[in-house]
Structures are given as C-alpha cells and as structure tokens.
Amino acid sequence: MRSDPLANAAVPVPEEPSAPGGLPRHVAIIMDGNGRWANRRGLPRTLGHRKGIEAVRRVVRHAGERRIEVLTLFAFSRENWNRPKAEVNELMSLLRRFIRSDLEDLIANNVQIQVIGGRDDIDKDIVGLIEEAEARTRLNDGLRLVLAFNYGGRDELARAARKLAFAVAAGQIAPEAVNEDTLAAYLDTAALPDPDLVIRTSGEQRISNFLLWQSAYAEYAFPATLWPDFGAAHLDEALADYATRQRRFGAVPVTIAKP
C-alpha cells in the first residue's frame, strides 16, 4: 500500500550534512601573494617566498591548536615550472630547507607529513627528503600536514587514470566496476577526507588546478591578505565564516517543521 505523501512531514528530517558551527576536518590553502608582498617592498620575489615560510609555520601551529584534522598547503604547482629558473630553484630549495629545519619540530609536535604531486620530475635529493619526512612521521597521529608540491589536479587525475587502466588491463579490476570510489582510490589523496574549506590568499578568486576532484563540494574563502602576512587571526576568521555556511551537497536544506 502506498502511503500518503503528506505523511512524510512526520518523518524525521535527515541530519544536515555539516552542522552550523562545525569545524572543517580538512582545510586546504592556496598560498598566494608572495611575489606581490615582495614587490610592494621593492624586494626580489624570492624574499617573498622566504617570508612565506614563516606564515606556513604560524598556520601549521594554529591549525594543530584548533584541532583541524588535515591541513593541505599548495606549495608548488606543475604550472609553476613556467617561472624564471632562479625562482623555480628558490622554491625547490625552500622545500629542502623547510624539511631540514622543521622536521624535528614537526615530529615533536606529532604532525604527520604527506606530500602529494608528481615525483618524477623533481630532484632526487628532494624526493629523498620527502620520503624521509613521510617515513619518520608516519606513525604520528596529530595534524596531518599535506604539502602539494609539483602538484596539478589534472595531472593527478591523469596519473590515477593511468594506474587504473593498468589495473584493468591486468585483470585486477573489471571495467564495469570502475566508479567514483575506484578512481578516488588511485588519487594521491586516497587516504584523506575531501577538503571542507579551501582558502586562497591574496584576493585572487580561482583554483589554479588545485584539488579539482576533491573540492567538488568544498566551501571557499578568498581573503585579500597576501600569504606572507597570513596568520592565526586570518585562519580563525575563515573558520568562523565557514561555521556560518550551510552545506547542502545537493540535498534540500533542513527546515524546522511547523506544527
């Protein structure tokens, strides 16, 4: 027997996917504006990048204190290879220096490090440092710090599709079994929850090939602050704003039923 559709009004409404006042599990940041920060001071762009490392330290510390589960930082995009060679070298060296100088501190603070992005075209010594950082922090269970380095969303999807194609060709997966979950399992972020909040500093409002698949339902924030000036208060502001958003994931927003 079909029930009266109006009777649905009495059915308890499903819980809202993300309750107002909620804290994002995963915050991802496009750290932009280092060059402009330096330009405004008449300094070389590379100094802006160096200054940006201090913001990284502030934000990592604060995200841990705020009990954010995952913090992803976009540090170098595949498209950033198109910059002048000296700037590319500086950005490469910055990752080297950051791991060398901060790894012990991060270990002491129970941070787990993961690096996403292609590894084939970066210097072998950097790959070695990345592997060391990941191995030595693997068992930590505090903040998960994900560095997107030599990362591009389309590249990540293409690499995942290639691995999946090999698995299908080898008979490990039936072609008809390929779905969203199988593809996601081949992404660099397979073990991570999707970002809830994506912040891009410097006022630019674009995603520049960052976490394309994973950000399908992310909330966005575009603070005008240049990355080297970004700190705890700016992160708190973005978190407070996030808490006011109503996430719907395509469903009908929850309303309180009138008597």
80 is catalytic: yes
Minimum distance, C-beta of residue 233 to ligand IPE, in the bound complex (Å): 20
Is residue 219 part of the contact set for ligand IPE (CB under 6 A)?
no
Question: Tokens 């976009």 sit at which residue?
Answer: 74
- DSSP for residue 33: -
- Between the alpha carbon of residue 178 and those of residues 162, 174, 189, the distances in Å are 13, 7, 18
Q: Which of 24, 26, 27, 32 binds ligand IPE (CB under 6 A)?
A: 32
- The one-letter code for the residue type at 243 is A
Residue spans of alpha helices (H) in the chain: 34-39, 45-65, 85-108, 124-137, 153-169, 180-185, 232-243
Q: Which of 24, 33, 195, 223 binds ligand IPE (CB under 6 A)?
A: 33
Question: Per CB under 5 A, which region of 26-34, 49-57, 65-73, 183-191 contacts Mg ion?
Answer: 26-34
User: What's the length of the chain?
Assistant: 259
Contacts (CB under 5 A) with Mg ion, residues 174-233: none
194 is catalytic: no
Is residue 32 part of the contact set for Mg ion (CB under 5 A)?
yes
Site string for ligand IPE, 38-77 (x = CB under 6 A): ------------------------------------xxxx
Cβ burial, residue 229 (10 Å; 0-12/13-18/19+): middle
Residues at the site binding ligand IPE, with contacts judged by CB under 6 A: 30-36, 74-77, 80, 91, 202, 204, 206, 208, 227
